[in-house]
Structures are given as C-alpha cells and as structure tokens.
C-alpha cells in the first residue's frame, strides 16, 4: 500500500499564504512609518523655520543703540534697555524668592517626608500649582501683593507672583535630582557617623547639583518669558528710566513685545523683530545653558 | 575636646534651624494653594451678590453697560481648546511614538531638543508670530475678512501644546516593559502592529494624562490667544464661528483688568472668571493625576 502523496503541495501553499499577508502588513508598516516621519517633521520644521526667520529679520535691527538706548518717539525708535534690565531684575527677584524655598521643599520631600497623607497633600498642591493658568497667578498677585499687602505695582510684587508660579517647577526638578543619588551614598555617609543634615549638605546636594541647576534655570526661563502674571503686578507700559528700587514698576521684554505688537499703531516692524530676537536669545540662552550643564554632568557621572 | 564640643552643639542647633526651614518649605505649596483659593474667593465671590445669577450666565458681555454674561467667554475658551486639542493630539502622540519607537538615534537627538525649544518659546512670541505670519496667511488662504479668528488661535495653541503631549507620552511609552514588545514580535507581529497593538495600548493611561495636561495648558494660555483670536466677546454659533473672532476667559481678564476700578463689579466679575479658570484647571489636573495614579497601580499588579 503505497502512501499517496498529497495531490498538490498544500503545506507549501499554506506557508505561502501568511507570507503574502505579511507582505501587505510590511507595506502597511512602511506607509505608517512614512506617515509618522512626515507628521513629526511637520511638527518640528516650523520651529527651525521660525528660528531662522527671526534671526534673519531681527539681526539687522540689533545695534549698540538698540541694546543700550532708551525708547524714543513713543517707542517707535531708540532702544529697549529698560525692558532688558527689567526682565533681568524680575528674573533675579524670582530666583531670590523661589530657589531657596524650592530646593528646601525638594529636600523635605526627598529626604525627610514619609509617604503619608500630608505628603500626598503637598504633592496634590504642587500639581495644582503647576496647572494654574498664568493669568490667574496675575489675579492672585494683584489681590495679595499689590492690594492687600500694599506693595503696589512693583518689581517686588511681580517677582513674588512669578516665584510662586516657578516654585513647583524647581521643586519637582530638584526632587528628581536628589532622588537620583544612589541610596548607598546616604547609607555609607550615615554609617560613618555623619548626621542627616551633614549627609544632605556634603553628599547628596553636591552630587545632585547639576540636576538642581538645570531645573532652576528651566524654571526661571519660564518666568523670564511670562507676561500674564506681571500684567497687573509690576509691568510698566513705558518707562523712560531704569527702576531704582524693588518698589518701582518696570518695563519687561515680554510685556514690551506685547505692547509694541498690539498697542502701538504705526510701529516699525524692525523694532518688533529686534525685540523678539533679544527676548528669544535671553530665554533660549537659559535653555541652552541648562541643556549643556545637564549633558556634561551626565557624561561625567560615575554612578 | 573642649574646642570641638561647642562647635558640635552649635552645629546641632544650626541643624535644627535648617531642618525646621526645610519642613516649613515643604508645606509652602499647600500654603500658596490655600492663599490663592482664599484671595480668588475673597475678590470673586462678591460678583455673585452684585450680579444676578441669570445675568452672569447671560449671552452678552458688555461691562460698560453692566452686562456681565460670561457665556460668550466660556464658549470662546471651549471652541479654541477643542480646536487646539484636535490638532495637538495627533501631532503630539505621533511625534512621541516616532521619537520613542521608530526614529533612529540621530533623529532622536535632533527632535528632542527641538521639541524642548518649542516648549520654551514664550507665549507672547507665539502670539507675535501668529499676528505677523499665521493670521495673514489664513486670511488670504481662506478669503476671510480677518485672520484673527478662533481657528488661528486653535492652530497656534495646538502647535504650542505639542511639547507637553509629546514629552509626557514619550515617557509613558518608555516605561512599557521591553518584554511586551519582544513578545509581540516573537508572535509574528510587525513593528508597526506591535506599536499600535501592544505598546501604545500599554501606555494608554500615560498618553491620556499627557493629553489632559496639554488641554490644561491650552485652556490657561493667555497672551498668544489674546493676540490672535480677535477679541470679540460673542457666543460662537455653528461651524462658521470657527473662522470668526472670539474672546476667551483668559484674554478677557488680561485685557480688561488693567483698566477697571479696584472693588467695582467689573473687577469682582473678572476675579469670578479667574475662579472658573482655577476650577477648570483643577479638574484637568486632578483627572491627569488620577489617570497616572491608576497607571502605577496597574503596572505594579502586572509586573509583580
């Protein structure tokens, strides 16, 4: 009884069948990846285009007079020195009011706090703070600092308002940096007889410093570019001199840009582009510094 | 011995002071949130007494004549936010999937810093670009009487929300265990099928968190939206309203607070709008928090 071989090589055919199906799914994959590439390119290309556009349009208006001069002829000529200095002061003030408490709060969350209901409350408060719209911070600053505490519209009130907005950014970045220090470092330090504070001050903080600095700069970067929180707490429409005390109002780059692009008719476009360029250099320069610090620290890190 | 003892007690007291400072700083966030609630309520609640509830929900916002209907502003924010979400979600999620799952290393290193730069561009600069480039472009392309419309705002804010959605979604995709992908591939799925059949569903709650937080950003966005949406407080009706000027809640506060008398009805109503925004942002953030908390619980269950 001879074994009948199957009339047609069915096994081969069925093994071909999925291969055929696979071909279409391969094709689908190619199309899909193509689409993803296109969408991602479509998303980031405008960023590059924007950068080049602003550089090309803005550079011709940058001059020594533009950087160091005062606005003239209803801001339609002259420089933007008061706005540059104002943004510098506001960023500095924000740093003073947000960096020490921010780092301290992060140390508390990472090194002291137990995972209990209070800690959860702090975390919910932080999430809440980081989500509040910037203009609501402006309202709050107006209500508390300008009116209730009678600081008036001033650098002090505006810096305090910005510092509350910046606080959650600094806390979460610092906490992440602190937590990334290996637990064994702390254990060794304590076992050698150091107190908790000595361990934090001599071991944990130095090891996490690059991460903390990066977080602080990114937080301050956001504050430097913000307009809405300072609208009613300290920004001046036009000020022909530099502020002399923390109780003075001040011009600021972002608000100045808003003013000259919407509130002043007949504004020469050159001054607008120049202002945008200076603001972007200020803000993205901070961004770049943070990125460089972070990548250098990562390269050097031994754990 | 005698010389070290005083310094060590000194250190001890210094340590106590520092620990106290650290503890107090820890509670600072709670204090600030409470203060924000308190002052918004203090300045905003009188609006409910000064303006009748019916009028506050009315369709006319014309403060000079005493019409304080916040409906047009609420609808304005809604139109812009929904529009921005429809643009930002596909762009953001695709970019995240591309960066995390598909792109070669060199492309990742180009894309990630660029997305970070977009996140760092101040809102007022986006508004400036909107006025100078985007709005004239849309006006000509679609033959509109003005380019300062809800649509322009939605496009601009949608684009600006991409970094939030992309970076948080990317984190979520990165936390999907490698074993999931390997198992899918071993069963014969293509890379593409693995991404949409396994990786993205596994990161679903993280991606939803990302979208929710992105939306929270959009609804609170102030300067850009004020500069490009044309500042017309009318109730948007029908699809064509997308191509007409609107006015959001944030823009109303920002453009009117500078000129009102402190303590007037108008002032209180603007704070009342602030309360509304605060509650909306609270809802978005708590939702996002709950979504991500659920994710942790489930992944713990799966991996243990």
> Can you say whether the dihedral through the CA atoms of A199, A202, A205, A206 is positive or negative?
negative
Nearest 5°: the CA angle A117, A130, A293 is: 105
Query: Averaged over A69-79, what is the pLDDT?
Result: 82
Choose from B32, B114, B230, B276 for mutation: most chain A CBs within 10 A: B32
Q: How confident is the model at residue A22 (pLDDT cuts 50, 70, 90)?
A: low
Query: Averaged over B258-275, what is the pLDDT?
Result: 90
Residue corresponding to tokens 């992944």: B299
Chain B, nearest residue to A129 by Cα: B33
B98 contact residues in A (CB cutoff 8 A): 36-37, 39-40
- The verdict on a CB contact (< 8 Å) between B122 and A113 is no
- Three-class secondary structure of residue B282 per DSSP: helix
Q: Residue A13: is its pLDDT beyond 50?
A: no
**Which pLDDT value is given to residue A16?**
43
Choose from B120, B197, B250 for mutation: most chain A CBs within 10 A: B120
**Closest by Cα among B57, B85, B126 to A276:** B126
**Which pLDDT value is given to residue B4?**
42
Rounded CA separation A16/B202 (Å):
32
**Which pLDDT value is given to residue A94?**
95
DSSP state of B227: H
In-domain check, residue A197: yes
Q: Which residue has the higher pLDDT, A257 or B16?
A: A257
> Do B291 and B205 form a contact (C-beta atoms < 8 A)?
yes
> Do B260 and B273 form a contact (C-beta atoms < 8 A)?
no
For residue range B133-155, what is the model confidence (pLDDT) as tens digits? 888 888 888 888 888 888 999 99
Chain A, nearest residue to B212 by Cα: A131
Average pLDDT score over chain B: 86
Q: Which residues of A63-89 are buried (b: 16+ CB within 10 A; e: fewer)?
A: eeebeeebbeeebeebbbbbbbbbbeb
Q: How confident is the model at residue A148 (pLDDT cuts 50, 70, 90)?
A: very high
**Which pLDDT value is given to residue A266?**
81
Chain B, nearest residue to A277 by Cα: B125
**Which pLDDT value is given to residue B6?**
45
Choose from A143, A201, A220 for mutation: most chain B CBs within 10 A: A143
Of A72-86, A133-147, A169-183, least confident by mean pLDDT is: A72-86
Chains A & B: contacts with CB separation below 8 Å: 250
In-domain check, residue A292: no
Which H or E run contains B182? helix B178-186
A255 contact residues in B (CB cutoff 8 A): 124
Neighbouring CB atoms inside 10 A of A135's CB total 31
Q: Residue B52: is its pLDDT beyond 80?
A: no
- ipTM of predicted complex: 0.88
B113 contact residues in A (CB cutoff 8 A): 291
**Which pLDDT value is given to residue A262?**
87
**Which pLDDT value is given to residue B296?**
59
- Three-class secondary structure of residue B61 per DSSP: strand
The beta-carbon contacts of B186-191 under 8 Å, at least 24 apart in sequence, are: B188/A18, B190/A22, B190/A25, B190/A26, B190/A28, B190/A29, B191/A29, B191/B101, B191/B102
Selecting from B25, B129, B220 the residue whose C-beta is nearest the C-beta of A134 gives B220
Rounded CA separation A245/A232 (Å):
18
- The verdict on a CB contact (< 8 Å) between A197 and B220 is no
- The verdict on a CB contact (< 8 Å) between B22 and A48 is no
CA distances from A101 to A94, A145, A170, A181, B28 (A): 11, 18, 9, 21, 8
Domain count along chain A: 1
Range of the domain at A92: 81-254
In-domain check, residue A157: yes
- The verdict on a CB contact (< 8 Å) between A104 and B111 is no
In-domain check, residue A216: yes
Q: How is B120-166 classified by DSSP, letter by letter?
A: HS-HHHHHHHIIIIIHHHHHHHHT-S-S-SHHHHHHHHHHHHHHHHH
In-domain check, residue A46: no
In-domain check, residue A150: yes
**Which pLDDT value is given to residue B295?**
59
CATH code of the domain containing A95: 1.10.3720.10
Residue corresponding to tokens 């990562």: A298
Q: Which residue has the higher pLDDT, A85 or A20?
A: A85
In-domain check, residue A39: no
Q: Residue B192: is its pLDDT beyond 60?
A: yes
For residue range B115-127, what is the model confidence (pLDDT) as tens digits? 988 888 999 999 9
Q: How confident is the model at residue A55 (pLDDT cuts 50, 70, 90)?
A: very high
Q: Residue B11: is its pLDDT beyond 90?
A: no
How close, in Å, is residue B45 to chain A by CA atoms? 13
**Which pLDDT value is given to residue B17?**
87
A224 contact residues in B (CB cutoff 8 A): 122
For residue range B217-246, what is the model confidence (pLDDT) as tens digits? 899 999 999 999 888 787 877 777 778 888
Q: Residue B170: is its pLDDT beyond 80?
A: yes
DSSP state of B262: T
In-domain check, residue A31: no
Q: Where are the beta strands (DSSP E) in B38-137?
A: 61-62, 67-68
Rounded CA separation B267/B50 (Å):
11
CA distances from B75 to B58, B81, B158 (A): 12, 10, 17
**Which pLDDT value is given to residue B47?**
87
Rounded CA separation B202/B189 (Å):
16
Q: How confident is the model at residue B3 (pLDDT cuts 50, 70, 90)?
A: very low
- % of chain B exceeding 90 in pLDDT: 42
pTM of the predicted structure, to 2 decimals: 0.87
CA distances from A76 to A273, B62, B81 (A): 13, 33, 35
Neighbouring CB atoms inside 10 A of B174's CB total 13
Q: Residue A271: is its pLDDT beyond 60?
A: yes
For residue range A222-235, what is the model confidence (pLDDT) as tens digits? 999 999 999 999 88
Q: How confident is the model at residue B59 (pLDDT cuts 50, 70, 90)?
A: confident
**Closest by Cα among B280, B291, B283, B286 to A123:** B286
Query: Averaged over B36-43, what is the pLDDT?
Result: 94
Average pLDDT score over chain A: 87
- The verdict on a CB contact (< 8 Å) between A135 and B25 is no
**Which pLDDT value is given to residue A9?**
46
Nearest 5°: the CA angle A261, A262, A264 is: 85
């Amino acid at each position: 009884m001879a074994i009948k071989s199957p009339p047609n090589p069915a096994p081969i055919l069925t093994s071909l069948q999925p291969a055929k199906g696979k071909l279409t799914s391969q094709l689908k994959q190619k199309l899909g990846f193509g689409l993803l590439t296109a969408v991602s390119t479509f998303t980031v290309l405008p960023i590059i285009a924007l950068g080049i556009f602003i550089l090309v349009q803005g550079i011709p208006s940058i001059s020594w007079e533009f950087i160091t001069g005062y606005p003239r002829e209803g801001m339609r000529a002259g420089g933007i020195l008061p706005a540059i200095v104002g943004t510098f002061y506001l960023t500095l003030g924000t740093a003073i009011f947000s960096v020490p408490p921010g780092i301290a709060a992060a140390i508390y969350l990472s090194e002291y706090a137990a995972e209990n209901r209070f800690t959860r409350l702090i975390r919910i408060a932080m999430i809440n703070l980081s989500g509040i719209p910037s203009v609501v911070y402006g309202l709050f600053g107006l209500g508390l600092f300008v009116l209730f505490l009678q600081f008036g519209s001033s650098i002090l009130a505006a810096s305090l308002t910005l510092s509350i907005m910046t606080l959650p950014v600094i806390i979460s970045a610092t906490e992440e940096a602190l937590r990334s220090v290996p637990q064994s470092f702390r254990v060794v330090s304590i076992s050698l007889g150091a107190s908790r504070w000595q361990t934090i001050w001599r071991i944990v903080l130095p090891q996490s410093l690059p991460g903390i600095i990066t977080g602080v700069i990114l937080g301050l970067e956001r504050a430097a570019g913000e307009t809405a929180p300072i609208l009613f707490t300290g920004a001046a429409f036009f000020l022909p001199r530099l502020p002399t005390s923390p109780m003075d109002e001040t011009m600021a780059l972002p608000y100045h840009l808003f003013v000259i692009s919407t509130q002043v008719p007949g504004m020469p476009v050159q001054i607008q582009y120049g202002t945008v360029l200076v603001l972007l250099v200020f803000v993205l320069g901070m961004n770049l510094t943070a990125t460089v610090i972070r990548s250098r620290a990562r390269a050097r890190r031994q754990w | 011995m005698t010389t070290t003892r005083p310094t060590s007690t000194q250190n001890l007291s210094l340590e106590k002071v520092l620990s106290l400072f650290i503890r107090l700083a820890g509670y600072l966030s709670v204090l600030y949130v409470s203060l924000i609630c308190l002052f918004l309520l203090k300045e905003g609640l009188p609006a409910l007494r000064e303006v009748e509830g019916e009028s506050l929900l009315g369709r006319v916002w014309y403060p000079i004549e005493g019409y304080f209907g916040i409906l047009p502003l609420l609808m304005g924010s809604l139109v812009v936010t929904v529009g921005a979400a429809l643009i930002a979600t596909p762009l953001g999620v695709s970019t995240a999937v591309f960066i995390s799952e598909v792109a070669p290393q060199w492309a990742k290193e180009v894309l990630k810093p660029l997305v970070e730069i977009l996140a760092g561009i101040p809102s007022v600069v986006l508004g400036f670009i909107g006025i100078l480039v985007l709005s004239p472009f849309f006006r000509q392309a679609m033959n509109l009487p003005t380019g300062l419309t809800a649509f322009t705002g939605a496009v601009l804010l949608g684009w600006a929300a991409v970094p939030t959605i992309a970076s948080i979604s990317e984190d979520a995709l990165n936390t999907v265990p490698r074993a999931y992908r390997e198992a899918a591939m071993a069963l014969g799925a293509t890379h593409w099928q693995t991404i949409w059949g396994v990786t993205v569903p596994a990161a679903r709650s993280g991606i939803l968190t990302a979208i929710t937080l992105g939306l929270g950003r959009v609804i609170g966005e102030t300067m850009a939206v004020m500069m490009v949406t044309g500042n017309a407080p009318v109730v948007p009706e029908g699809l064509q309203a997308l191509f007409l000027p609107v006015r959001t809640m944030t823009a109303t506060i920002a453009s009117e607070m500078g000129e009102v008398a402190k303590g007037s009805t108008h002032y209180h109503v603007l704070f009342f709008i602030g309360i509304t925004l605060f509650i909306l942002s609270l809802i978005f953030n708590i939702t996002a928090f709950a979504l991500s908390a659920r994710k942790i619980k489930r992944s713990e269950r799966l991996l243990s």
